[in-house]
Amino acid sequence: MEHPNMHQLGFGFEMEPTTEPKTFKNAGQMDAMMEIAPKHLSDYEQILLKRIRVWIYDKRRKALKQKLKEDKPAVKERANQKKLSL
């Protein structure tokens, strides 16, 4: 069942098996994992993934905004010191 707003949520990808080098000691372990791994995420999992992506984006944006706020007064102070020294 597809979510009614799936096209708006930015989904539409499916996980494909990769042929990258195996890093497991037992080659059969990787094959077993590939067999039981889902081929694509469920609608519920896709929505959770989207929410995590938005949450991470918001946290990064807020952290950057806070850092810029902290750096901005230092720039103003330096400009004021230059004016006073003239």
Q: Give the C-alpha separation, 18 to 12, whole Å.
A: 18
pLDDT for 11-58, tens place per residue? 454 555 556 555 666 778 888 888 888 888 899 999 999 999 999 999
Per-residue model confidence (pLDDT) at position 6: 47
Per-residue confidence (pLDDT) for residue 37, from 0 to 100: 84
Q: Please check whether residue 3 is in contact with residue 43, taking contact to mean a CB–CB distance below 8 angstroms.
A: yes
Closest-CA residue to 46 (of 11, 85, 5): 11
- pLDDT classification of 9: cutoffs 50, 70, 90: very low
Closest to 12 (Cα-Cα) out of 57, 43, 37, 53: 43
